[in-house]
Chains A and B, each alone.
Chain A
Amino acid sequence: MDFTTGDLKNLFVAMAARMTAERDKLCALDGVIGDADHGIAMEQGTKAAADAAQAADGTLQDVFNAAAKGFLNAVGASSGPLYATALLRAGKAAGPRASMPRDELRAAIAAMREGIAQRGKAEPGQKTMLDAWAPAADAASAGETADAIAAAARQGAEATRDMVAALGRAARLGERSLGHPDPGAVSAAMLIEEICSAMRGPAS
């Protein structure tokens, strides 16, 4: 069964529900190496994206674009421009279609990685959300299964424990950021898990 605009709207609702559920955990992670607000930004951003997507008419690209704008205007912060750019790129990858094969969510994941890397001027290994997005996108581009893509994202997030932050607020910590996972990578892995669930299609 193809991935429709209705499925995309449901995906944004699922992302928002996940971020609401994980909000306090993400804030606590951020409190160790940042300013303790990451869970709040992600909850507000994904909820605004879900609301904007719900209200949007048109193609997959239109829904992605509406979600991008909703996310950006609700939060600002770092995650706003990064996820807004990611969603705009995903929309471009999906294109002006009413639906697409579920397999093509892999291209959306790859496009989101590109958008985040470009907007954040980041590279993998700097202890940022890109450390979850990059391995997931690599797995997606290699045609791996949804399970493998989600696992790559989780492992990438986990690996940030052993990285010294080079970008973003935690960068000022230097060596003191060692031993703690990057909250942006942890929330990214959660969002990627939701995309991978959508890739598997509705449970039969």
Chain B
Amino acid sequence: MSLTQKLINDGNAAVDEMLAGIMAAHPDHLWRPDHAPRAAVAKNGPRPGKVAIVVGGGSGHEPTFLGYVGKGLADACAVGNVFASPPPQPAVDAALAANGGAGVLFLYGNYAGDVMNFDMASELLEMEGVEVRTVLTTDDIASAPRDQREKRRGVAGNVFIFKAAGAAADLMMPIDEVERVARHANDRTFTMGVALSSCSLPQTRRPSFDLPMGEMEIGMGIHGEPGVRRGPLRTANEVVDEIMDAILAEMNAPAGDRVAVLVNSLGSTPLMELYIMNARVAERLRSAGLTVHRTLVGPYCTSLEMAGASITVMHLDDELQRLLDHPCDCAMFRQG
């Protein structure tokens, strides 16, 4: 099998070389502690008395997670290898660098590896007298049944959940409130995706899974974890309808309510296709009597070069709407 084509130098150095490039591009937003090359911290944002929001996870999902570090959103980020949780130390380093004395919230997607490493980091931080809370994101509705929400993965909905929690912290809410907001945001965020082609890891340059031409996989995870169903590729409207049927059934929002929408590229699917999808998403929400308060379209949480897209809907209330509207200024995401 031929190797996939990538613009890299050395597969094993890909993450560190990417970080060097990000630091060169965004010196006004990000810095790294000298001894902690895999921790990235917001230049502005962390301050005394403010809860520190620390996110993190494997690389390969850019702009998730690093891109959402900045004032009004996450304070720091622990960076793992491609698709692999960071070890505890970068999470500890990130938390200590961002700590404002009001507690630290670890906020990340629900994956076994991330949970073990961040839990070890929490233990280490508590030994140093830092209060740590953890909220796991579980927005991928395809990854487990509704009655097992705690088993679901965190995917592109991270963007809205991080945004709400980051705004709450920026408004100087105490740790109990920031934790409550993060859980509330997670409870009201629903994502489902479709993959059209595989990604490949820089270290192997081989497709991570086999998806024949003409087929798609509904519900596939952002690391190429198999989804719920494989079948022939269908039209954008048909795919959106399948996803929106599932999301609307779960969300169960009464007519008149407001939502925020994210139509996300998994990597190589272009904006043209995302906007074609969004036209149908908007139509479906309108016919359900829901008002779209805000729409994001683009690559927000990717899987390297995977083709495909995900749709996220956050069911807003006054609080979540206000928090989503709160300004933020990150390396790869700005608002207000």
Task: List residues of chain A with CB under 8 Å of any chain B CB.
Answer: 24, 27-28, 31-37, 39-41, 44, 72-82, 119-120, 167-173, 176
Partner of B117, one of A32, A39, A80: A80
Given A34-B225, A41-B84; A76-B117 close (CB under 8 Å): yes
- In the assembled complex, 28 residue pairs joining A and B whose CB atoms fall closer than 8 Å, in A order, are A24-B204, A28-B206, A34-B225, A36-B83, A36-B201, A36-B204, A36-B206, A36-B224, A37-B203, A41-B81, A73-B87, A73-B89, A75-B84, A76-B80, A76-B88, A77-B58, A77-B81, A77-B84, A77-B113, A80-B113, A80-B117, A81-B116, A119-B116, A169-B112, A172-B151, A172-B225, A173-B225, A176-B226
Residue contact A169 to B111, C-beta cutoff 8 Å: yes
Which chain A residues border B203 with CB–CB below 8 Å? 37, 40
The answer on a CB contact under 8 Å between A169 and B201 is no
Q: Digit string of B77-101 for contact with A (CB within 8 Å is 1, else 0)? A: 0001111111111000000000000
B299 on the A face (CB < 8 A): no
Q: How large is the interface on B (under 10, 10 to 19, 20 to 34, 35 or more residues)?
A: 35 or more
Q: Which residues of B contact A24 (CB under 8 A)?
A: 204, 206
What CA separation (Å) do A35 and B224 show in the bound complex?
6
Q: Is B221 engaged at the interface, CB distance under 8 Å to the other chain?
A: yes
0/1 interface trace, chain B 198-241, chain A, CB 8 Å (1 if under):
00010110111110000000000101111000000000000000
- Known contacts A73-B89, A75-B87, A76-B81; A33 and B116 CB within 8 A of each other: no
Chain A interface, >50% SS class = helix
B144 beta carbon closer than 8 Å to chain A: yes
Knowing A72-B88, A80-B87, the reply to whether A36 touches B112 (Cβ < 8 A) is no
Please encode chain B, from 97 to 123, with 1 for each CB lying within 8 Å of some chain A CB and 0 for all others. Answer: 000000000000001110011001000
In this assembly, does B153 line the interface, its C-beta being within 8 Å of a C-beta of chain A?
yes
Total A-B contacts with CB atoms under 8 angstroms apart: 110
B143 part of interface (Cβ distance < 8 Å): yes
- B89, B144, B203: most-surrounded residue (chain A CB, <10 A): B203
Q: Which of A28, A41, A82, A169 contacts B223 (CB 8 A)?
A: A169
* Extra A-B contacts (13), CB below 8 Å, given A40-B84, A120-B116: A31-B210, A35-B208, A35-B221, A36-B201, A36-B223, A36-B224, A37-B81, A40-B201, A75-B87, A78-B112, A81-B117, A169-B112, A172-B144
A167 and B84 form a contact (CB under 8 A): no
- Residues in B whose Cβ lies below 8 Å from that of A171: 151
**B208/A72 in contact, CB under 8 A:** no
Residues on the A chain within 8 Å of B224, using CB: 31, 35-36
A173 closest partner in B (C-beta): B226
Known contacts being A35-B224, A81-B120, is A75 close to B81, with CB within 8 Å?
yes
